[in-house]
Amino acid sequence: HADYGLLERVLRLEGRAATEEELKLAHTEEHVELMKLTRSLPGKELYRMQEKLNSVYFHNNSYEAALFSAGSVIEVVETVLNGTAQSGVAVVRPPGHHAETDEACGFCLFNNVAIAAKSALDSFCLKRILILDWDVHHGNGIQRMFENDPRVLYISIHRYDYGSFFPCSSDADSKCVGQNAGEGFTVNIP
């Protein structure tokens, strides 16, 4: 806030659109192409498309907004990793943690955090990443994308209600701890 000089103490970054190559770090080509279609479909078609998904809203500008959301998260991560900033926060919409590899979910078209994490692992040759997901909802998309990857420790603090709270999946239970090489690298705290 202006009274505390906050804006003078932070580095404000320009948002940027994610590239299709970056989106495909976490999503299938089919999913990216389907989301791209939202730019030109008439309202009735968008409505039919979103009705097939779990809690998703589409508009002709949804794809562009999601590109900037994902790209801006990548930009913040890269700014920290290249030493320009010590820490960072990306305030973006639409959110991302519900988006699956091949499907939009929970108002999330692309999984911003997963895309940024995979980009960082590749571009900066990182050995490990911690993702702390503190939200009333479990980040089902992030968990599924990394549940086999021992380089990513995913911790989710969320409401569970024995699987009855959105996204209504037993994957959000504390007993789900990752799989195969990623076993022990998923921590659910309902």
Catalytic site residues?
98
DSSP string, 154-171: EEEE---GGGTSTT--GG
Give the number of residues written for the chain.
Answer: 190
**Euclidean distance between CA atoms 158 and 189, whole angstroms:** 6
**Euclidean distance between CA atoms 62 and 155, whole angstroms:** 28
Structure-block tokens of residue 189: 């705290």
Strands (E), 67-166: 129-134, 152-157
Helix (H, G, I), strand (E, B) or coil at 180: helix
**Euclidean distance between CA atoms 132 and 145, whole angstroms:** 14
β-bridge mates for residue 188, sequence order: 156
